[in-house]
Structures are given as structure tokens and as C-alpha cells.
Structure 1
Amino acid sequence: MRPMLATKGDVVPTGDEWSHEVKWDGVRMLADVADGAERARLTTRNGNDATIAWPDVSPAPMDGRDLLVDGEIIGINDAGVPDFAVIQERMHVRSATTAARLAKAVPATFMVFDVMRLDGRDLTSLPLAERREILQGLDLGGWQVPPTYDDGAMLRDATLAQGLEGIVSKRLTSTYQPGVRSKAWLKFAHRHRFSFVVGGWRPQEGTKDRLAALLVGEPTADGLLYRGRVGSGISGAASRLLGAQLGGRALDASPFADDVPAVDARGTFWVEPFLVVDVDSLNKMPISRLRQPSYRGIRTDIDAADLLEG
């Protein structure tokens, strides 16, 4: 199953037919507990099995009672705020030993906001209000069920003041539609953080293989359009991780549908446009060229097609 997705909203809705939640800056995850299982099977929003990467999240609650839930895995930064950058290294782990070590050093929390199956019963056709009532009646142990709020405007102001990512507003009558981007769920983000697709990389000056900057673009109906070069925020560890992801994916020519300025194209190694990364910048939408961008991390939980859909 793929998770239900929210649409970008313009105005926070009001009225009794809506509820509002904090938008967490983490990794979307479905947790599926087969009846009697000791551990949940964790899958990302694009269907990848991520169980091995999260040994602190995967233990099944309620003695392995049959369950399927939707939520977000988060990590807390030094300021006490959920921050994707804290846990982005853990997303790519495929070694149980490494995952166990990182779980101790960088603990994660699973914030559960929906339930789609319980004791073999499919709940997806129930309205959100009923699913939430069922969810709040469960004892999920270390998994947390965050509260919902009636006043979306108040929550948006509060999350902005607290440095949180934003809010999600959901229609209480909405059924759970796997894999559908629905206008019954609306998302409102505070941060100027965007996801782009990598189309090329540039080495550090004086080297041939030390990745120091990315050339990124936005998938559109007209192809991958160039949005800028990102070098800030790429540490030594990030450089090695990016290099490993891009290895073996070289192209002879630019994958961008439009022209890349010569100052950016000079010395660039072009790559297949498959890798999605998060970038912070001073921009607001729409973006033609990034302003003072900073690399934040790789997004293996989404792909280029997801960005084209919005």
C-alpha cells in the first residue's frame, strides 16, 4: 500500500468539518504488523522496505496485534525541534549493525496520525473522524499519536513561532485513499525548503572526484528545468554519500531541458536525473533560480515523479 498524500493549500480551511495537525519534518512511513509479528514492516512512501534502518521504531506494539498505520519518523535537533537533517543519514542504512549504532546515537520517534487496518478489518473506507477515534483508543507503546486541533489558523501561527515545519488540514469525512494526492488533505509549510532532482555535480577545485556542488532542477511537463547550483551544506560525509548514490549514473550531455549557464556548466559531470535532494533557500514559489541555496539531504522516500505530481 502507498500512503495517501496531501495537496499544497493556499488558505487554511475553517469550520467543524476540518481538523488540523502539525506537519512533521521527518520521513513518511507506513508500519504494517502482521498478526502476532514481533516487528512491524516499515515502508517508505514510494514502497521501499526500510525496516532494517529503524530498529528503534520497528518493534511491534500491542503484543503484535494485527495493525497498519501511517505516520512520520522524526528526529529532534539541538534546539528541540524536529529536523529532517538529523535523521537523513539513517534513511540510507542497509546494515543491521550500523542501524543499531545510529539508533543509539540518533534516536527516532514514530508519530502515528492514521490507522488503515486493525485486527484484519480494513478501515480505509471509514471517515477520518472514526479512524482517529479508533487510533486514539490504542496503546501504541513507544509510538506516539500527536493531537489534532480545531483552529487551523491558531495552529499555523503556533507552529511558525515554534520553528516547526507547518500544518496539515484534513477533512473529517475523508476516507483513506492509498496513493492518491487528495484535496481533502491540505498541507501548509513554513520553511522555504524544496525538493529538486540532481542533474549534475561539480568537483572541488583542484580535485577530480571530491563532490562539492550539485546542479539541480525541477521536473515539469516541459522536462527537467534548471534551478541552480548548490554547494553550501555539502560536508565531507554528505559528499561521500552523494558520490556513492550518483556513481555509475553518468551521462554524456546535460539532462536539463533548458540551457544551463556556462559558469555553472563548466567542469560539471552530468548524471541521470533520478536522485531527489532537499534544499533550503531564500526563495518563495515559484522559483526560477535558487537564492543562497543550502543542501539539506537526500530524499530516498520520494522520486522525480512525485515532484512532478506536486
Structure 2
Amino acid sequence: ALSGDIRIGVADQTIIDALAAAFSANEELVERAYNITSDLGFVAEVLAISGEEGLKQIKVQPGRPLKPMLAERAQSLQEIFEKMGGKAAFEYKYDGERVQAHKYDSRVELFSRRIERITSHYPDVVEALLKGISAQSFIVEGEIVAVEPETGEMMPFQELMHRRRKYDVEEALQKYPAKTMLFYVLYVDGVDYTSKPYLERRKKLEEIVQESDSLALSTMMITQEVGEAQRFFDEAISAGCEGIMAKTLDPAVGYRAGNRGWAWIKYKRDYKSELTDTLDLVVVGGFYGRGKRAGKIGGYLLAAYNPSNGSFDTVCKVATGFSDEDLVEIPKMLEQYRIPHKHPSVNSKLNADVWYKPVVVMEIVGAELTLSPTHTAAFSKIREGSGLAVRFPRFTGRIRSDKSATEATTVDELVEMYKSQLKKVQE
């Protein structure tokens, strides 16, 4: 098939123009046929045999990937609301690999954003889609993200790239489990959804998808409030996303295969605060693990000290960096500090599975500090309604028995770090 992978450097558009001219066909029809099949050879053949009438008969069909719809980029949330007419659907923009999944003849094929077949890299995704979507045939779109096996939290995109190495897919499956976040349905059991409005497509997706640890719908909200959209953005970033996507609610706008436009708008952050130092944080709670850590404490809720009122304000949940020995020894050591409910000096919005007196100090490293509506450290100090959180925290292996809880990293130190380490994000 001729497609966007032509190596001779002839752009797709040039071939579309040439085909339209050669067969005196409407250029938009040729382009549409290409965008919903991604196969110029097929389009040329149809044109040669049955002309424009043939092109009109070309339909969206599982097994033939559509060119992906693309988004414009906005500089501010205000700009998004202006472009969207004051109200929009917002979704998390995941840091993963975009995928278009086709089910037909009882099998699932996966295509990348560039229309490459990537089915062999993601056998677990294929299985999750076969199990989790109740339809004989479908085309859905989403993002494959890597998750931390113990916590289910999203990992950076780089972790997924291990799947692209042919030799160790089996090992990568264990080490870097994938979760597919679906945001679009394009076709189900004979019905083409590409021209249907956003809300109808979303509703259909909710009907056919059974969510699980490996398959879910993208997190979504509809709002006309800039403040609400800003909080949603902060939540997305602290959950490990790149930003948010705004999608038009205009019922006249469907899925525009192969086109970039203001029907979808991406909003990503401009700055990140890189963590260059370790943090000494106080253990205030614990969480039961999953997988091989089920029934045992597999992660901890950590807090910074706030000298202004003597409270311990949460900054992160940490579940990585622990050796097998740590997973046995640390819970044993903490047992003496276990209490039936949250300690009065602990300021937390999260509910831990177990609570501890704020005594033990743990050293951690992280990728960066982010604004998070979930955590209470420096709450509303930098931005109204958000505190500071550590993104991708990891235990260094050191329990700071030389430090008391009041000698831990303070909230003020975190604020200073956040401000001094803000760097412009390079695209």
C-alpha cells in the first residue's frame, strides 16, 4: 500500500492533487478517501476503476486505519474558551503512545499515530481490548501508557519504549505493564461514528467499555469555568500527564480524520520544576500493595514539616525504590508507631490504609515538584486550590534515623525549591 511512508519524498498532498487532476475528480473527495483508509494505492485503484462514484462508496471499515485527527495548541485556558464558545469537554492528555485499535474477524490490530502496525508490541493491550469491549467489530482510539505495577500510577513515556525492542516483549510485559486510556469510538458493529458529535461518541464508548486495571476511559469533565479547568489541568499534571485536551461540544463537528483544527485544542505546561536534591520526608501513612505485594504495605504517604503551625502536610505517595528486604523490614519497624486513625498533626486529603505517628523520616528523590490539588503542602501558597507534590518519587534506600520529624524538609523549603527550579519546558 502506498501511504505516508513513501520514501521518495513525494508528499501525500502532491499525490492527492495528481490523482484528482489525472481522473478529473474532486480533490476533497480524494483527500477524504485517503484520510479514512490511509492507503493511496487503494484510493488510486478505486478512482481508476469507478471514478468519483467509487470514492463516495468508500466507508470507514475496521482493518483500514484512519489518519488521526490532530489538535491545535493554545497558550492559555482563556484562549481555549474563546475558541470553543465558552464551554468545552476537557480530557487528560496522557504521556504515552497514541493508538487506533481495530477489531474484525475476532482479532484486534493496533496502529500507531503514523499508521504503523504495532500489534506485536502490545499483546496485553490486545487482550484487554478483546475482553473489555463488548462489540463484534470496532475502531477505537486512545493512548497506551506505562504503569507502575505496584501502584497502578502512570509512568513516563520512555518506559513504554522498552516495548519497541523486539527481543524482550515478554520481560517488558512484566516490568512495564500497559494501560489503555480510550477517548474515542469511530466505528461499532456496522455504525460509523466519525460524523457524530463528541457527546454521542463518548456515551457510546461508556456503553461498550468495561473498565479494568488495564483499560479505562480518559478522565473527562465539561466546564465553562476557567478556574475549574485550571484545577483539572493541575490534577492531570500531578497524575503524570502532559496536560489536557479541550474538545468541542459543537454537535455539527465530528471526527476529522487527517485534519488539524480548533475542534481539538491541546494545553500543555510551559514550565517544570526539576528536583535536583533529595528530600527528607515524614512517613504518616501506608497503603496496601497489589500484585505480589497484595495484603502487605507496598507504599507510603509522606509529608513535609510545617513549622508555622507544627503540622505535617502531605507531598506524595511513594511505592518505588524499595528492595524485597525493605518491604519486610520497614513495615516491621513502623509497626510500633501505627495508630488507628490519622494523627491530629497530619494534614491530609488522602485516606491511607494505615496511619502512623509522624516519627520516621525517609529520604526520597523525584523528577520534579508539581502543583497538585490532592496534596496539602504549601496549599494555596503558589496557586489557589493546589498544594505541592513530588512527581515520580523514589525511595533512595535511606531511612534518616539521624533526623527527627521536625528536622525533615519543610514546606517553606519546598516552596523555595519549586520557585528556584522552574525551567522552561523544551518541546
Provide TM-score, normalisation by structure 1. 0.57
Aligned counterpart in structure 2 of residue 72 of structure 1, from 137, 143, 146: 143
Aligned to 1:71, the other structure's residue is in SS state strand
CA change 1:192–1:25 in 2 (3 A) is farther
Aligned to 1:2, the other structure's residue is in SS state coil
Counterpart Cα distance in 1 of 2:166 and 2:218:
29
Aligned to 1:149, the other structure's residue is in SS state strand
* Deviation of 1:20 (Å): 0.2
CA change 1:82–1:19 in 2 (3 A) is farther
Counterpart Cα distance in 2 of 1:136 and 1:73:
18
Q: Which residue of 2 aligns with 1:93?
A: 165
Aligned to 1:150, the other structure's residue is in SS state strand
Q: Is the 8 A contact 1:16 1:150 kept in 2?
A: no
Alignment of 1:90-169 (within 5 A): 90=163, 92-94=164-166, 98-140=168-210, 142-151=214-223, 152-169=229-246
Aligned counterpart in structure 1 of residue 116 of structure 2, from 30, 44, 48: 48
Q: Is the 8 A contact 2:270 2:425 kept in 1?
A: no
Q: Is the 8 A contact 1:93 1:99 kept in 2?
A: yes
Q: Is the 8 A contact 1:136 1:145 kept in 2?
A: yes
Q: Is the 8 A contact 1:21 1:167 kept in 2?
A: yes
Q: Which residue of 2 aligns with 1:304?
A: none
Deviations 1:72-108 (A, max 9, x none): 0001258833310111121x2345xx32331122110
Alignment of 1:181-192 (within 5 A): 181-190=260-269
Question: Residue type of the partner of 1:11?
Answer: S
Q: Which residue of 1 aligns with 2:282?
A: none
* Deviation of 1:124 (Å): 0.1
Counterpart Cα distance in 2 of 1:3 and 1:25:
17
Aligned to 2:217, the other structure's residue is in SS state coil
CA change 1:121–1:162 in 2 (3 A) is closer
Counterpart Cα distance in 1 of 2:97 and 2:158:
10
* Deviation of 1:282 (Å): 3.8
Aligned to 2:116, the other structure's residue is in SS state coil
Q: Which runs of 4+ in 1 moved over 4 A?
A: none
Counterpart Cα distance in 2 of 1:178 and 1:191:
28
* Deviation of 1:63 (Å): 6.2
Counterpart Cα distance in 2 of 1:134 and 1:64:
11
* Deviation of 1:64 (Å): 5.9
Aligned to 2:123, the other structure's residue is in SS state coil
RMSD over aligned Cα atoms? 2.6
Counterpart Cα distance in 1 of 2:170 and 2:270:
31
Percent identity over the alignment is 27
Provide TM-score, normalisation by structure 2. 0.42
Q: Which residue of 1 aligns with 2:71?
A: 6
CA change 1:16–1:138 in 2 (3 A) is farther
Q: Which residue of 1 aligns with 2:247?
A: 170
Deviations 1:211-261 (A, max 9, x none): xxxxxxxxxxxxxxxxxxxxxxxxxxxxxxxxxxxxxxxxxxxxxxxxxxx
Q: Is the 8 A contact 1:57 1:110 kept in 2?
A: yes
Q: Which residue of 2 aligns with 1:23?
A: 93
Question: Residue type of the partner of 1:114?
Answer: Y
Question: Residue type of the partner of 1:190?
Answer: R
Q: Is the 8 A contact 1:24 1:74 kept in 2?
A: yes
* Deviation of 1:114 (Å): 0.4
Deviations 1:168-223 (A, max 9, x none): 11102231011211211011112669xxxxxxxxxxxxxxxxxxxxxxxxxxxxxx
Counterpart Cα distance in 1 of 2:135 and 2:123:
16
Counterpart Cα distance in 1 of 2:140 and 2:246:
19
Q: Whose radius of gyration is greater, 1 or 2?
A: 2
Aligned to 1:131, the other structure's residue is in SS state helix
State the structure with bigger RCO (CA 8 A, min sep 6), 1 or 2: 1
Q: Is the 8 A contact 1:55 1:100 kept in 2?
A: no
Q: Which has the higher helix share?
A: 2
Deviations 1:150-174 (A, max 9, x none): 2422211322344432111110223
Structure 2: which 5+ residue stretches go unaligned?
1-65, 224-228, 273-421
Q: How many residues align?
A: 194
Q: Which residue of 2 aligns with 1:265?
A: none
